[in-house]
Chain A
Amino acid sequence: MDFWSDDGQGARQVSRFIAALDRSVDRYGQDVILRRTVGTANRVSIDCPCRASVRNYDPTQLAGTIQQGDSQVVLSPTDIDRVQWPGPEPIQSPPRATDPRIPRVTDVVVIGGRSRSVVASVPFVVNGELVRVELQVRG
């Protein structure tokens, strides 16, 4: 096999990663809302209802920026893509370098009716495709 040709295996692997995460959050996760607020004095919220795995950090993980009470939220890109969150952005040239689907530290996740601020956002990209997002949330 040519070293540079993966015969589509990379794309299939990405699909498998996402499907496995979808099954996992569907079975063991909970409903949350990923929310971005646009505007300053006047504001509007852009919501993405999604399934997510939410868990508290283990005491051994409390180091660095992770504080007691913080939680880890694992999201699949499937729900984000379904509503195409956070919505359109002005077409600019050159296009933005960062993936707009990746939550920012100014976003919040509503878990059980409680708004929790995103402290850190880690995207997992395989073969150029977003397959998973891990958030550290607080509040």
Chain B
Amino acid sequence: MSLPSVVTLIAETVTTAVTGQQFTAITGLTGVSVMTLEATFAGTGGSTAYVVIRSRLSSADTWREVARFDFSAAGAKWASLTSASAAVAAFSALSADSVLNGFFGSEYQAVLTSTGTWTSGLMTVKAHVR
């Protein structure tokens, strides 16, 4: 199957607090060398909301965090994941607004966490892959 140009990793309303809500995975993204991520958040009244994008090599492997977007108010952020060579390193949980470059699995999943009660909250992450 050919690579799609744009895939939606999450488009979810955010109201009451959620902790680590996992979403179904986008699968079959083999051969990706660059991934541009755009995260947008809208809403008022809450405290925080962040989404972690995870990837794994196959459905039998472990999810690894590759991008994290944090919001405390409405806004939009982007990040570009590239296949730049990197030294051997251990996996670790990502800190706020950070990425792990070079780890392109075949599956991607969003994990949503929010605190406080948001009015008209909406978290979206779309990916342009090539």
Please report A residues at the B interface, Cβ cutoff 8 Å: 38-44, 46-47, 81-91
Contacts and interface: CB of A to CB of B under 8 A. Distances in A.
Contact of A88 (B8, B43, B122): B8
11 contacts: A38-B13, A39-B11, A39-B13, A46-B8, A83-B5, A86-B8, A86-B11, A87-B7, A88-B24, A88-B26, A90-B24
B42 A42 contact: yes
Contacts of B9: 87-88
Contact of B23 (A39, A44, A91): A91
Interface in B4-54: 4-13, 21-28, 40, 42-43
Given A38-B122, A44-B40, A87-B10, 5 more contacts: A39-B120, A42-B74, A42-B122, A44-B11, A88-B110
Interface residues on B, range: 20 to 34
Nearest to A83: B4
A104 B13 CA distance: 18
A89 B23 contact: yes
B7 A83 contact: yes
A55 B27 CA distance: 33
B56 to A, nearest CB: 14
Interface of B is mostly: strand
A41 B43 CA distance: 9
Interface in B72-130: 74, 109-110, 119-122, 124
Closest 6 CB pairs of A and B: A87-B8, A42-B42, A88-B23, A41-B120, A83-B4, A88-B24
B2 interface: yes
A90 B12 contact: yes
Contact of B124 (A41, A44, A84, A91): A44
Contacts of B23: 88-91
B11 A87 contact: yes
A102 to B, nearest CB: 16
A108 to B, nearest CB: 16
Nearest to B41: A42
Interface string B49-75: 000000000000000000000000010
A82 B74 CA distance: 31
Q: Name which of A43, A44, A83 has the most chain B CB atoms within 10 A of its CB.
A: A44
Given A38-B12, A88-B8, A82 B1 contact: yes
